[in-house]
Structure 1
Amino acid sequence: MSNTGTSWRIQGARVIDPFRGIDAVLDVTVRDGVFVEDHDPSLPVVDAKGLWLVPRLTDMHVHFRDPGLEYKEDLASGSRAAAAGGFTVVCTMPNTKPVVDIPSLVEWQKERAETLGLVRIWPIGAVTKGEEGKELAEMYQMAQAGAIGFSDDGHPVADSRIMRAALSYSATLNRPIIQHSEDPDLFAGGSMHEGAISQQLGLGGIPAEAESIMVWRDVELVQLTRGILHVAHVSAPGSLEAVRYAKNKGLAVTAEAAPHHLFLSDDAVREWQYSAVTKVNPPLRPAAMQEALIQAVTSGLIDVLASDHAPHHADEKAEPYDKAPFGISGLETFLGTVMTVFLGRGLLSPLDLFAKLTAMPHQVLRQSYAGISPGAAADLTLIDPGAVWTVDPAAFYSKGHNTPLAGATLTGRAVATMVGGRWTMREQEVLG
């Protein structure tokens, strides 16, 4: 299989297409970078028997650190990590240096992605200038430049007046406000979940209420403004109740969960003996909260799964727990983690699981895509559902090797990624 050319016949794959509700063994033809119906025998053939074919895998929450923090990650290394993980679209958070709060930086990220040709990058613009929470950024202009949504992720929009204004604009722009939900005062000084284990380890705790209080406030503001809210990386029971309340009221509120919150509990901090690879924001929660989050995903209360890929330099993660930065590198373990949790336990069908990585992110972001339909861009991933593998951060394409999943055994892995008819990864080798 070569990566050159944009026309292929992919034979014998189990096609799992949540955009069209299809789960069947089919042959798929790509011609000139788009899906077509004809089965031209002259095209190069890919034997995909035993593999799953999923269109347009999307991670709507990644940190590529570029511009300004390229020692942690840049658009090139992040794009390679995305391709290796099986993703064809990623949404980049704006907490870079400088912050992505002006149209030219949105345009630069999109142009750089086109040049790299490994993944489609959909930039997220900042809600406030410099992510300082004091004054709205140029939201309209950034939307015109291609910003897919707005977030101050890494920080909450804590000022209720600013958040009210942002939500009002979101309805006009038809783009969500993606909120990193935490009460800064309750969060202050914390390093991990506030509970029995933080007390045993002597680490500053972050109560679950630091998250849920902010989610409840934002739901009330959505009722006031009729804006569009997406709650990032939900982890707390109270947040789930707020999202449920909002959905029952018919409000435009959606939510995502991150794989590490579904796979690990706060006991991992003790198991890793204070290693900051377990330090993430929001923090890993107790097993009972972890299970409640899993149930929220299976019930449909959680709309989207997203990695919150947050790479850091090894020297930063080697700092004492209370001083090290928050964040886990998650792109290259994402698929295996969620397939192990939900398919391994029989909690979701493959069609329902992959909807949360394909059709639902598009719905949340108000983006259209027809799946495997004639004329649609040929973005797809081939997955080996039976692949059993051990996480080795040294093999990551990401610059960030910070993950508490190191040494974990996962089932399910991407073996090839295609964007616009061109292979960007095959058999864990990123191409181009």
Structure 2
Amino acid sequence: MKKIATIIIVSLTFLVAIVLGVAHGKTQTASANQRTTIVFWHSMGGKPAAALKQLVAQYNASQDKYTVVPEYQGAYTESLPKYLNVANSSAAPAIVQAQEIATSTMLSTQSTIPMSQLLSNQTTDQIEDNIARYYTVNQQLQAMPFNTSTPVLYYNKGLVEQLGLTPLPEDPSYSDVLQLAKAITAKTGGKTKGMTIDAYGWLFEELTANQNQLLANHDNGRAPGEYATKINIDTPAAKRLMQLMTQAIQDKSFVNYGSGDIAEANQQTAFLAGKLGLFMQSSASTGDLQANAKFKLGVSYLPHADGIPRNGLALGGAALWANKHQPANVKQGVADFLKFMASAGSQAQWRLATGYLAVNKNAKNLPQITSAVAKDPNLGVATQQLATSQKNPVTAGPLVPIMPIARTNMETAMQAIANGAPIDQSLKVAQDATNQALAAYNAANHLKK
């Protein structure tokens, strides 16, 4: 009886294990009724997280071969180290989302499959050219662009009209911005401060890129057979940008919210409360601002320096990378899922749900997008800004492994200048510190020129 009981217990245990394995999508056997699990590490929170989960659920329901399991791994700065620890092991996820400035780091792991090899030309050719260029290295699309944005300028158009002022043009200059900020401050008796510039490295990069300034040598680190050996922070373009800020401070139309997430939140809160006239931030905020503003919202391109034609911008955001250390059936599932995510329909849905740009060039022509833009033209500003950017190494974006350090140094310089430090000295200190870090990285990784 004891032996029979043991057999029954073992059999039941085995049966439960099978049932649980199927229920959680973890078992990858030859059974025709079972799905292959695709583990997807991401860093989306809030509304984007909900929108992502909805897309994944739609994909899982659309077919019966694969189950994509989205797993939140924290912010980009938390998720990337986790991936680097397992990148070339069996513990690696099939897909990982990584910030745009992590492109060089992701490539250095040699753990991923280029999208140009994983996906058909029919899929990759649908990606917007000025978006695909950022992730195109060695003439191959290395990752699937996903949550993509550019910075834009937001302003209280309702207040501007109420005060009898002229709204900003679509493509404003620094003088346009300064004049409007000064007038808002004066006409409201200082109750509404004219403008702010967040001490944010990404904004620094984009506002200097808009003046056709390379951030790194060797074509932003993208020249064939080359890599970045010098970072350009102490430049004429950066000085013009800092003079924009210091002139606004001198005009008493500037308010300093500092740097980081708190600064971003505070400036948006002040703007919605009518205490701030204009600011610059990600285009992904357009939908939320439109929904919460109790006034007519104005959106324009990021401003360009006077006398210098607008060059355009590189993109921000993140992309989806495919890990190469996966079984063949998982790789097939990754390709199928990414094809779904890159489709015009999925990208239109993502665009409307989150405010991020649609990476599929056909999405903007779908009825749901055209009707949304017709109803609210502000939604189309960022798309048009990126589409009309010049195609050159500057707008391709920097391929630099120490971009987080560079951004921190830029932000330190911006804060110092806002607090009265000399422009030239602050930019030089930031550039020297960044180049020391870059030289140390290159030496540690046996990169020599």
Name the TM-score, length of structure 2 as normaliser. Answer: 0.25
Higher relative contact order (CA 8 A, sep 6+): 2
Q: Which has the higher strand share?
A: 1
Q: Which has the larger radius of gyration?
A: 2
Name the TM-score, length of structure 1 as normaliser. Answer: 0.26
Q: Which has the higher helix share?
A: 2
